Amino acid sequence: MKHLINLTVNGQKMTVEVESQRTLLELLRDQLSFTGVKEGCGDGECGACTVLMDGQPVRSCLILAVEAQNTEILTIEGLAAGDGLHPLQQSFVKEGAVQCGFCTPGFILAAKALLDRHPHPTDQQIREAMGGHLCRCTGYETIFLAIKAAGSKRR
């Protein structure tokens, strides 16, 4: 069954046709070519597919594309304004929080939602926001420091 849905992706309004059984992850990655959205586990466990839906982090592998009707989606591609990097991206680079980079979009978007809610998060709040994200490379400490640094810069 096909559906025509309206949604906004990275600030751009669009109407797209999707099959009922397509996930939001498949829509964003395969149909719309936002390949910054990664598929790790496909089961909600790893966080690689995290995007912001109406400002809140969600797992795009566990949401149907049709469920995105009338929502605003932000992927990593839409984070930075213009050619520069977003402060969170700069902070990840500076702290060496990126190795293979597969987990990075998910961590950064989850961190953005955290900083939007709590501009100066506590260590506990940072760990909480990272809780559902897996990284096989960095050991997490640099990611934690990158988010913390981005949080304190906003003062």
Partner 1 sequence: MLRPFDYYRPADMDEALALLGQGPEAAVLAGGTDLLVKMRRDSRRSPLVVDIKGLEECRGIGWENEHLSVGALTTFNDLLGSGEIREHFPLLIDAARVMGCCEIRQRATLGGNVVNASPGAESGSPLAVLQARVIVRGPQGSRQMPIEDFWQGVGKTALFPGELLTHVLIPRLPPGSRSAYLRRSRVRGMDLASVNVAVVVINPQVSKNRQIRVAMGAVAPMPLRARKVEAMLRGQEITPELLAGMREKIQEGLTPRVTSLRASPEYKKEMVAVLTEMALQRLLKR
Q: Which residues lie near partner 1 (CB under 8 A)?
A: 1, 3, 19-23, 26, 42-45, 47, 50, 56-59, 61-64, 66-67, 69, 110, 113, 128-129, 131-133
Establish how many alpha carbons lie within 13 A of residue 6's alpha carbon, considering only the half-sphere containing its beta carbon. 2
3-state secondary structure of 150: helix
| Residue 101 interaction partner, one of ligand FES, ligand FAD, partner 1, none, beta carbon < 5-8 Å per kind | ligand FES
- Please say which residue, 94 or 120, places its beta carbon nearer to ligand FES: 94
Q: Is 42 left (phi over 0), alpha (psi -120 to 50) or beta?
A: left
- Please say which residue, 29 or 155, places its beta carbon nearer to ligand FES: 29
Burial of 116 (0-12, 13-18, 19+ CB in 10 A): exposed
Residues ≥6 apart with Cβ < 8 Å to 56: 113
* Positions in 6-45 near ligand FAD (CB under 6 A): 44-45
- Please say which residue, 117 or 153, places its beta carbon nearer to partner 1: 117
The count of residues interacting with ligand FAD (CB under 6 A) is 2
Binding stretches for ligand FAD (CB under 6 A): 44-45
